Structure 1
Amino acid sequence: MDHPENNAVDGELTDRSFADAEARSARLEEELRTDPTAHRMLTGDRPTGPLHLGHYFGTLRNRVRLQDLGVQMFVLVADYQTITDRDSPRSLPEDVDALLADYLSVGIDPEHTTIFAHSQISGLNQLFLPFLSMVSVAELNRNPTVKDETAAAGQAAMSGLMFTYPVHQAADILFCKGTVVPVGKDQLPHLEVARVIARRFNRRYSPKRRYFPEPAALLSEAPVLLGTDGQKMSKSRNNAIALSATADETARLLSRAKTDAERHITYDPVSRPDVSNLVLLAALCLERQPEAVAEEVGAGGAAALKRLVTEAVNERFRDIRKQRAELINDRAQLRRILAAGNERAAEIADATLADVKRLMHTDYGS
């Protein structure tokens, strides 16, 4: 058997040129518009806290767009990934329910999208073992994203699960033969692991007929929203406005958002990032250009800008919040939806695992 350590192949575990990734993503976006049902998309979130406005404008609304186009969608509740850098909390069942309520309230439809939990799909997790044999320790050690995530989590030492996280992510993507993964530039090294694993598996075990597709990145053009403290909006930084926030909570959070000393409001993300972030948030909610929003506020200053943003956010998310409040109060329904998604994902994972066993000559059934 060939060993990856001794047999470098096209596409080493390094971040490919961003220009190549952008070109591939552009072609993929066109394919999704013209033949959406030909693709399967895998995406998801860790249930580590409430989703917020950054998630909505960054990923959630795009998931709904692609779902409505007809792309085959798989949305992962990545509960196993919570233990890459923390203990599994007692609140995890409630956190999973909250994540499901967020998904459903923004328009993710379980009739058209498979929503499933990592820990419940044994066939998916079994793929992790053969996939580990496709990569070397040296290759995984070169992944810059894992190192960055470990540092950001404040860990003194990297766990084995964090170290092999890109391989687990490859199993997430390939169990359903995913072809599309929406990511940012910083996640390209992770996706390259999945592409290399697919390529090596095919060459080693299915050389005549490609079994796994090589998934492609759909690079996000979504704006990055800053939190109320001027840093990137994040659950862990406590600077985010949750989808579940009430109108009063939203007003309170935005009232203390950072601005600057200049009274006249302009949209200048480079020179005035804090003010421009508020302008952008209002523009996204109002579906207007940020320059037009800034011009409207003009000499009104930060107080007028914050009033406009607060009204825009509360109006934009009024129906979503109402729907979410109803959903979170019907936890039995949330669990039924997740159970149905788990069942469908398990069927697909079991079929994939059976094929993998056959191709690897580890099928010892009668």
Structure 2
Amino acid sequence: MPQEVRGVVARAKNEPVSVETIVVPDPGPGEIVVAVQTCGVCHTDLHYREGGINDEFPFLLGHEAAGTVETVGEGVTDVEPGDFVVLNWRAVCGRCRACAKGQPQYCFDTHNAAQPMTLTDGTALTPALGIGAFADKTLVHSGQATKVDPSASPAAVGLLGCGVMAGIGAAINTGGVSRGDSVAVIGCGGVGNAAIAGAVLAGATTVIAVDIDPRKLDWARRFGATHVVDSRQGDPVAAIQELTGGNGADVVIDAVGRPETWKQAFYARDLAGTVVLVGVPTPDMKVELPLIDVFSRGGALKSSWYGDCLPSRDFPLLVDLYRQGRLDLDGFVTETVTLDDVEAAFAKMHHGDVLRSVVAL
């Protein structure tokens, strides 16, 4: 039978969220119901509330989640009731042109649950990134749930569902950081610090963190930055070049997503270096620079979408590294809160007071 649970709903653009009763249907073919244990408070949820994604209100927010499979629908074989899973928004189809080329990390037809979750009056909810996990339970496609080691902390590993995976993947998957590389990361919030952690995992020997907030630079040191640059105090491009023998970094990751930070990344790389954009720009932002500078520098200019990850491959690996003490996922959890605290958590995130607030259910 359908279940009534509590969930965080954004009813209208820029209005405070509310905790409401939502209806979760029984899973249909290919679907599962997950009892949510934790869900991180991500900037993307705030973008939904502000109308920055689309206008398909009301939204059921939350997507960086871990929990336990409760029930499964017809045809589900990859997970079963009782499995501990991390949710993701890249449930690959296996049939599109990207999947057919052996590049499922770029799948163009990812799966979501076919049935809607609703308010008690029948109003259909749009789940954030097809997940909607600021709720006691949620309905997703089975491909959106990746089974991982149940001994891992849900608050920590649930963050792989979005921001932490985006940052680690930007360094390892998109940027191709390798042993001995120099890496600079501009913007040291949750995604930027995850990129720093990813660069360290990949064997980078010079890892430069750039930000205007001393607290964030302190966080960056914790995740393995070998050098920090307070860009309020001077030109970060010159600082990165000085720290890399005058050459610029092999890989520069823009975790802010503004024209000025992207141009800093462009000019702070080595002549054949790589720029990775993982920060999310707004639709009105534009970049202008001399085309001869693009031509004369070679290298690569890349965008990283969800860290170019493949959840079935990357989540279990990163959880294993976490359990071995080689990846400090606990360090990203600044505080745990309740569903009633999500609006306050948005304010803390907006002001840069936290790496991640995590809702515990």
The TM-score with structure 1 as length reference comes to 0.26
- Rg: which structure is higher? 1
More helix by share: 1
More strand by share: 2
